[in-house]
Amino acid sequence: MKILAVDTATKSCSVAIVDKEFLLAEVTAVSQQTHSKHLLEMISLVIKLSGLNASDLKGFAVTQGPGSFTGLRIGISSVKGFAAAFGKPVVGVSSLDALARQVSFSSYLICCFIDARKGEVYSARYRYTGAILKKESKDQAVEIGDVLNIINEPCIFIGNGAVLYHKTIKEKLGELANFAAAEQNIIRASTVACLSMNRFENNDTDDLEAFVPRYLRKPDAELKFHKISDHN
């Protein structure tokens, strides 16, 4: 089953094609530019590198959030466009689930942090039970201190939020704090594809028309609007 996956949840942009457990092609870039500048070109390149035609794809997977409001909109609208054009199904994947999947097997608690700005992170916690990665908390937007206050065991931190708040985490948790390798902090589209595979195989796909980003909180512009309205 050949799946094209896209991630645009953070400053990195990644596109991959995976055939079951085999990676056929992947391109990842980190840029200060909006993902709309290069995403379609990256999709075309990955299809070319894989030796496939777009019609050979069985479906599309994409990070649904949480993450950058603009980035998520760009990735999801692009994937929805391709899915509609080729009549293929779509599966949304949590960006935090993708990060957790990139941690090699460990007996430590795994805590994923994506920068949500203004001192907050998008976060979820995971743990391996045997060889199975289990999710221990729901995706949430939270102040970093609220997460660190409840961790009292060795923990691996991963994601761009873990990089951004490395010093804060280390000062708070000391030897309990461990950090993923630098390259693991960037979400890979191949990980997104692998996470989606079971859902495609079980025909558990998302409704294309109703498929939207999972922001977890309102965009800043909307928050400012409500704040102004409340004062009037």
- Residue 231: pLDDT over 50: no
Same domain, 146 and 178: yes
Q: Is residue 230 part of a domain?
A: no
90 and 8, same structural domain?
yes
Q: In this structure, are 66 and 167 located in the same domain?
A: no
Do residue 79 and residue 158 come from a single domain? Answer: no
Same domain, 173 and 122: yes
Per-residue pLDDT reduced to its tens digit, 95-121: 999 999 999 889 999 999 999 998 899
Q: Residues 91, 192: one domain?
A: yes
pLDDT tens column, 141-177 = 999 999 999 999 999 999 999 999 999 999 999 999 9
Contact between 36 and 75 (Cβ < 8 Å): no
* pLDDT exceeds 60 at position 57: yes
* In a shared domain, residues 157 and 167: yes
Residue 231 inside a domain? The answer is no
Residue 67 to residue 114: CA distance in whole angstroms: 7
Write down the pLDDT at residue 219. Answer: 54
pTM, rounded to two decimals: 0.91
Does 128 fall in a domain?
A: yes
Whether residue 61 has pLDDT greater than 60: yes
Q: Tell me the CA distances in angstroms from 4 to 60, 80, 130, 143, 151, one per residue in order.
A: 5, 12, 30, 34, 36
Residues 68 and 153 in one domain: no
Tell me the CATH number at 136. 3.30.420.40
- What does the pLDDT look like over 120-150, one tens digit per residue? 999 999 999 988 999 999 999 999 999 999 9
Q: Is the pLDDT of residue 188 over 80?
A: yes
| 125 shares a domain with 52 | no
pLDDT for position 60: 98
Confidence at residue 218, expressed as pLDDT on a 0 to 100 scale: 61
For 31, the 3-state DSSP assignment is: coil
Cβ contact 194:23 at 8 Å? no
Q: Which domain holds residue 203?
A: 2-95+187-224
Inside any domain, residue 164? yes
Mean pLDDT in residue range 3-28: 96
Query: How many independent structural domains does the chain possess?
Result: 2
Query: Between residues 222 and 16, which one has the greater pLDDT?
Result: 16
